[in-house]
Amino acid sequence: MSTKISPPRSSGDKYRHSEKMAGSREQDNYTMRVLGREIRIQKMKNGFVRMGKEQSALQ
């Protein structure tokens, strides 16, 4: 029966862990947003470069 009752330390760790998970999730969302913007900019740049190459090839 004593195994069912969790000591306060473990519950504290669990709370801290969930807090840490939430923080890391927010950080991940922010990182993904920034990375997504960077990737979009990179794709646009690549697209412009490709268009420029095609235009120079046509000329």
What is the DSSP secondary-structure string of 15-57? HHHHHHHHHHHHHHHHHHHHHHHHHHHHHHHHHHHHHHHHHHH
CA–centroid distance for 32 within its chain: 3
pTM of the model: 0.36
Q: Where is pLDDT greater, at 55 or 17?
A: 55
Domain range summary for the chain, segments of one domain joined by +: 33-59
HSE, CB side, 13 Å, CA atoms: give it for residue 38: 6
Per-residue model confidence (pLDDT) at position 31: 83
Per-residue model confidence (pLDDT) at position 32: 82
pLDDT tens, position by position, 1-48: 555 665 555 555 555 555 565 667 777 788 888 888 888 888 888 887
Per-residue model confidence (pLDDT) at position 43: 85
